[in-house]
Amino acid sequence: MRGQVAAEGMSAPRPRPIVLLTSNDWKPTARQVQELVQEIVQEFVRGMVQQIFDAVLWNMSERGGSPTGITERSSTERPNVEIVISAGKVTSGTAEINTPQAQKARGIANFLPRPELLRDAVIEHNQDENTTSNRFDTKAGPIRVVLPVAHGFEFHIIHDSETGPRILGTFRGSSLPVRAVAYRISEFLRTRGLK
């Protein structure tokens, strides 16, 4: 009955308060005890669902519309930082760079699953070395994920330390979608405690 009233948009009647009887006047039957327990559980669940619903609505209003607080970006939208290294000089002009590697690097940066990675992602186009990579500032220093130069090659994960670049790992993935590559990068950094 209560579910029907609430579903029609009217307020549900207030639940009866739970009264503990200490006298021997009332001896409930097993059915009455079962109904009482069922009603208590339903009220508890209804209250929890309402609290969760209120929390989701609050998060949506605070974070701009998504219940998770994470708004998905399209694969064509570029991340915050993209740099070009040419003739030893670093610039931010990327309008002329539209190589397949650059497009894939932008896609990977857009689909990074963790906010701290997404916030710190830098796409680096090194024209001196003819490479494109996604760079992350980690606890151990900058980590670059160098994209393969052609289909069938591997991604290289390189740590740029004071002693020079060092390869931390490689993985095949030139045929994988950018979402899968972004997830692999995220897990690589997470499992090694870098990010």
What is the chain's pLDDT, residue by residue, as a tens digit (195 residues)? 444 444 444 455 565 665 555 556 667 788 888 888 888 888 887 877 777 766 666 555 544 544 444 444 444 444 457 778 777 777 776 667 788 888 888 888 888 888 888 888 888 888 888 888 999 888 888 999 998 877 778 899 999 888 989 999 888 877 888 899 999 999 998 898 887
The pLDDT, as a whole number, for residue 72 is: 46
Tell me, what DSSP letter sits at residue 125? E
The pLDDT, as a whole number, for residue 144 is: 92
The pLDDT, as a whole number, for residue 15 is: 59
The pLDDT, as a whole number, for residue 16 is: 60
The pLDDT, as a whole number, for residue 71 is: 45
Q: How many CA atoms, within 13 angstroms, populate the side-chain half-sphere of residue 43?
A: 13
Distance of CA 51 to the CA centre of its chain: 23
Tens-place pLDDT, residues 117-141? 888 888 888 888 888 899 988 888 8
Convert 126-159 to b/e letters by CB count within 10 Å (16 or more is b): beeeebbbbbbebeeeebbbbbbeeeeeebbbbb
Q: Model's pTM, two decimal places?
A: 0.56
Which residue has 């307020």 as its token pair? Answer: 11
